[in-house]
Amino acid sequence: MLQVKPPNVAALTRSQMWPAGIFAAGALAIFLPTMIDVARLTWTTEQGGHAPIIVATGAWLVWRELRTAKPRVMPGKLAVAGALLGIFLITYVVARITGILEIEGFAMYASILSGIYLLVGGAILRALWFPLVYLAAALPPPDTVVAAITQPLKLLISSVAVDLLSALGFPIAGTGVTIQIANYQLLVAAACAGLNSVISLSAICLFYAYMRHRSDWRAFLVVAALVVPVAIFSNFIRVLVLILITYYFGEAAGQGFIHEFSGLTVFLVALLAIFGADALFTRLYRTQGTADGR
């Protein structure tokens, strides 16, 4: 009788361990110095204050998706992975030398993803598409992008806040980048500084939407579409609270609110708003579904 000899699993495992070990060493070599700089320079600011939450929840989501999806491991195409690694690593080195942390962070992340693709293939990356995109929000975005997005919003939020409080009888006026209320003057840049956290705040709200509606892509898209408006609304509430605190308790109290409680206020308002919007949508969605089923 012809006997088929089983494959040498131990030898196969050893052959796969070498590339994985080399990749792990290379990934740590670019990951650690970049992330230390990111944590030191951006995570301690209001713009990046939510990043540790993104990293913790994103890592848990990766672990959860790998357990539930169990995608097939198949090494990626060497030519594709090699080309991507070459481009991203060159970009990483140039950004590291020139000190452009924003480009360095994304080049580091893209390099690591290219290496993962080479080792385990595209099926795993597709299964982890949301947590991988979500984790990218922990990296600092380019300042030019942030300025282009937030500057019009700062002016809009300040203008709406001034108009609302003026209609309610408060002695307030806005001119350019300043807000004048009673004897106090607030800079628009300071009043709306929380808008710099829109990206990370939106990512956290998207995490909630994904976990809540991942099995229903229509519901996920609807709730996800509300994320950015919710983040902007939470910053609008922040500006109103700041103006009112300054009006009733003085400039020192307003400045203390900026440094101590404003980030927490924006975060709580955003979460409560997305919870409320999701609850309202879910009720309407179920009502519509019941009506259609009749």
- Residue 274, burial from CB neighbour count under 10 angstroms (0-12, 13-18, 19+): buried
Task: For residue 205, indicate whether it is catalytic.
Answer: no
Task: For residue 238, indicate whether it is catalytic.
Answer: yes
How far is it, in rounded angstroms, from Cα 199 to Cα 211? 18
DSSP H helical segments within 78-226, as ranges? 78-98, 101-120, 122-127, 129-136, 143-167, 188-191, 198-213, 217-225
157, two tokens: 């939020």
* Given the residues 96, 126, 238, 286, the one annotated as active site: 238
* Given the residues 40, 192, 283, 286, the one annotated as active site: 192
Sheet holding 172-175, edge to edge: 172-175, 178-181, 184-187
Q: Are 62 and 129 in contact (CB under 8 A)?
A: no
240, two tokens: 């109103």
Catalytic positions, written as ranges: 192, 238
